[in-house]
Copies of this chain bind each other. A is one copy, B any other.
């Protein structure tokens, strides 16, 4: 197993561009980070030490933020997923609101453009726990209202993918933008 003792967050290099081989490596490791460097090297056309060197660099540069176990929510008794939109009075990102980061039920906190201020992704055991979390949110100063979208089924859920769609089909009926 790769025991990386080097700094991961500090010492960001000036971010040498991620080349195509790096992208392939990322693609493989996003899919399964438990493979050996021998196998990784074989899949991207490098020797084990070279593959290792690349991965170390990707970690150091911060391109690979972490290597994590992905847990089945049901296995840890959190079958209920919801997205909570929060309207706030004034600026939404207050320390009081950020404090809910401590709840392990809260997985994401974003500020968004559009008609709401903050957007949360939360995962709870049941509707009762969701209610508890919402009441906790309502107690936060500045919170005006919330709208919750409870997920019925999840059809896709995966980490950030390294690939990018090269070209989008020219939208029909669309004028050519200036920029």
Chain A interface residue count, Cβ-Cβ cutoff 8 angstroms: 90
CB within 8 Å of B: which of A53-82? Answer: 61-73, 75-78, 81
A34: contacting residue among B1, B119, B128, CB under 8 A = B1
Interface centre among A112, A135, A171 (most CB of B within 10 A): A112
CB within 8 Å of B: which of A87-113? Answer: 93, 98, 101, 103-113
Secondary structure at chain A's binding surface: helix, strand, loop or mixed?
Answer: mixed
**Could you pull out 7 A-B pairs where Cβ atoms are within 8 angstroms?**
A76-B164, A104-B165, A108-B158, A111-B151, A113-B149, A133-B168, A135-B168
Known A2-B1, A26-B71, A107-B161: A136·B168 in contact at CB below 8 Å: yes
A contact residues vs B (CB 8 Å cutoff)? 1-4, 15, 18, 23, 26, 29-37, 39, 61-73, 75-78, 81, 83, 85, 93, 98, 101, 103-114, 116, 119, 123, 125, 128-129, 131-133, 135-136, 139, 147-165, 168-169, 171-172, 174, 177
